Amino acid sequence: MTKKSSIRTIFLRVLAVLILAPGTFAGAIWTLVVGARTYERFFKQDSTVDIDSGTYLVAGIFTILGWFGIVTGWKLYEHFLRSSTLPEWHVRAWSGLFCGSLACLALVHTTAGDLPSRLIALGWPLLGSLGLGGLLLTAKKAGD
């Protein structure tokens, strides 16, 4: 194992522990909350939820986009642990990172509070997109 590959492995393990695993956990909780609130809004007659249906549609769309980002992050993590080459599916990887980043930015934008505290509390998955995007940019093509 070369020094460069061991540094990359340490970087990926830290990324998994500090960003991917908590992001997956937060995504699961968010999915349960959005799902429960949507169920209550549309299927319960005595619903106490006073938010319009469009809000739930947008929340559902950004939840799906967020999961595209989470799954892409884990797939890139697994790929770069094994190899330093560019994955064959690198275009889809960029799309997944973009979807996850877009969902994260939407969450930061729609929550209350001042911008710096929202970025610290909710914007940390963007660091994962940045790190994995950097690995994609510096990856070698398969034939090189």
pLDDT at 35: 87
Q: Which residues pair with 85 in a beta bridge?
A: 140
- Per-residue confidence in pLDDT tens, the chain, 144 aa: 677 788 999 999 999 999 999 999 999 999 999 888 888 777 776 656 566 777 778 888 999 999 999 999 999 999 999 999 999 999 999 999 999 999 999 988 888 888 888 888 888 899 999 999 999 999 988 766
The span from the CA of 84 to the CA of 140, in Å, is 6
pLDDT at 29: 94
Sign of the C-alpha dihedral computed for residues 26, 15, 62 and 71 taken in this order: negative
